[in-house]
Structures are given as structure tokens and as C-alpha cells.
Amino acid sequence: MFLRILWKLLGASRGRLAVALIALTSGAAVCSALLNVNLDAERKLTQEFRTLGANMVIAPPAAAGGEAALADAAILDRIAALRLPDLVATAPYLYVAANSGSQPVILAGTWFDQVAKMNSWWKVEGGLVSARDDREHCLVGFTAARQLGLTLGSPVQLRSGDRSVSLTVAGIVTTGGAEDNQILTDLDSAQALAGLPGGISLVQLSISGTSPEIEQAAQTLAKNLPGLDVRPIRQIAAAEGTILPRVQGLLFWTIALILVLSMLGVLASMAALAMERRRDVGLMKALGGTVQQIMRLFLAEAGTLGVLGGFLGFLVGLVLARWIGERTFGVVTSPRLAVLPITIALTVGVALAGAIPLRLLGLVRPADILRGE
């Protein structure tokens, strides 16, 4: 009998209930989308930060007398052997003072494939060199290219002491950093030009993760690389640790605001519905129905709307989360089934809170209704 009456109630005031259902579905859709984005926010933000360059540097201690200190390239194998789970890229560097004609220039030997992974934000005219051991091409910083009169495809002869190397400009990079004043080539060419086989100046690492995870990786590297300085680039690591809580806080308060607005929509619909159902409630009381039984019936109606609105909103939210992910992060946000029960629970709570006006029906007196008042 309870279910039959509930079904009749759901079909009796379709217009009012449709407005409440639309409010609940809309709120649930936004909440579902933001919850999906929130669960993916940490992973997406760390991926975005990894495009900003290295967040850790490994270098030998400064040599006495101000001379440039060098490390053995064998440390690259030791870093790889650690199998750090969140290591994105490893880029060694060897800096060599060279001359192009009569102009002095700094040559930076590195691994081009790792530099491309680590610095995808670089503005490149031409193209990045993709092969790690490409000994024929180089990248030239924007300022260095202007000073040396180099353009795409220009040959460049670099000399250091009695050693020289010939390269072709494959791309001109603008980074806003020291690379703008350098020529980047493969590591082997720089080592040959400097006469330092197996020598490197430092290693830059890009490690994905939160600030505590990056600190843990730094401790692991320092423990396994004695005699070397392992330094996180704290500006980037601190930015990751600061921005993520702020983004999550913004999403939380947005969800709370959406739920309040949805509740107000349901509240308005239920207030109008309460006025329509005074006669029905009076008749139920006259037939022996208690206030508790009548309230359970109306709350079950509101709860049913909440479940239906939460489920529909979850489905719409998946599409909305996908759109937000593509617009904000340039990638598709992964759907999370764990969001479904959370969305339904929130929507049911909003529906029950919005059904407060129906409790006023408990004050209806059957005698007044039967007299037509």
C-alpha cells in the first residue's frame, strides 16, 4: 500500500516534481563533475608542473679555488638503477666555454630526448632535436643566435683549445632562462670538445609527485649518491604543495554553494507542492493516518527524487568532467565510480533538506479540509 501511494504521489504533481528533479539533477551534475576533477586534480597538476622543467638538481660540491667541479657520468647509471617510481626525465649537462669565430659562447652538452620531456614549454623556432646522440645538429638560444648571426640551417664551428666541432642549427629556442645564451648539443660532442670523456657538470631531474614525495626522492638519492649535492628546486616543489590545496579548497566551496542553490530550488518547488497537498493530507488524517506515516511518505518521495536526480546528474557530470579536463588540463578526466554513491548521497540529503515545507502539512486539521476551508 505504501509503495502504491508513493507511486500515485510521484505521478500526481509532475510539473512541480519535474522542477525539483531538474534542480537536483543540475546540482548533482556539477557536483559529480567537480568531484571527478578533484580526485584527478593532484595527478593532473603534477603532470602540468612536470612541463615546467626540472624540480631537482644533482651536482658535485664546489671545487677549491673556484674551479668548475665535475662529476662522473657513471652516476647516471646509478640513478637509473634506483628505479625511482615517479621519475619523468633525467638530463645531464656539461658546460663548456667555447668560441664561435671570435665570439665566446657557452656550450651545454645534454641528452636531447630528456630535455624535450622536461621542457615542453620551450618556444622553439624550427624543431627540437629528438635523438640523444645526434652529433650533427644543435639548438641555439635566442640571444646567442642573435649575437652570432645564426639562423635555421646555419653551420656553426665551435672551438675550445685545439679541439673543434662542426654543427648545424636545427632550432632556435626561447626559454627566458640561461639557455637563451647557450648552444645546446649532445653530451658526447660537448665532452669531446672539452676533452672530458665521462665528465658532467650536473644532472637535472624531473620527478612527479607531491612535495613530501619529492623530498623522499631527494633523501633516497642523497643516500645512494654520497659526495654529491642533491637539491630540490624548492620554488617548483613549494608551488605544487601550495596550489593543490587551494584548488581542492576552491572545488569544495564550489560544491557546497551548488548544493545550497539546488536545495533552494527544491525548497521552492516543495513549498508550492505543500499548498497543493493540503486536501490530500487532510483526507489521510481523517482516514486514520498518523503524522509520522504521512511524513515518511513525503520524505520517501523526496528521497526517490534525490536518488533519481543523483544518478542522472552523475551521468551528465561524467560528460561535464570530460569537458572541464580537456579545457583546463588538455587531457581527459578519468571517470570514478566512487563518485556515484557520493553524488547520490549528497543529492538525497539536499532533497530531504528541501522537503522541509512538507513538514508543515502535519499541522493540517482534517475537520477544516472536510468543511472545504
Please tell me the predicted confidence (pLDDT) of residue 234: 61
Please tell me the predicted confidence (pLDDT) of residue 274: 61
Please report, as a single letter, which amino acid is at residue 174: T
* Grid cell in block for residue 332: 581527459
Helix (H, G, I), strand (E, B) or coil at 202: strand
Please report, as a single letter, which amino acid is at residue 260: V
Residues in contact with 168: Cβ distance below 8 Å, sequence separation at least 6, in sequence order = 136, 137, 138, 153, 154, 155, 156
Q: Does 248 or 79 have the greater pLDDT score?
A: 79
Query: What percentage of residues in the chain have a pLDDT greater than 90?
Result: 20
Please tell me the predicted confidence (pLDDT) of residue 218: 87
Please tell me the predicted confidence (pLDDT) of residue 208: 76
Please tell me the predicted confidence (pLDDT) of residue 357: 63
With a cut of 80, say whether residue 41 has pLDDT above it.
no
pLDDT band at 142 (very low <50, low <70, confident <90, very high): very high
| Per-position DSSP letters for 63-109, written without gaps between them | PGGGPPP-EETTHHHHHHHH--TTEEEEEEEEEEEEEETTEEEEEEE
**Domain residues of the chain, as ranges?**
2-47+243-370, 56-232
CA 165 to chain centre: 43
With a cut of 90, say whether residue 111 has pLDDT above it.
yes
pLDDT band at 184 (very low <50, low <70, confident <90, very high): very high
Mean of pLDDT values over 349-368: 64
What are the tens digits of pLDDT across the range 194-213?
988 889 999 999 887 667 77
With a cut of 80, say whether residue 49 has pLDDT above it.
no
Please, which residues bridge with residue 160 across strands? 163
Distance between CA atoms of residues 202 and 133, nearest Å: 18
Please tell me the predicted confidence (pLDDT) of residue 358: 61
How confident is the prediction for the chain on average, in pLDDT?
78
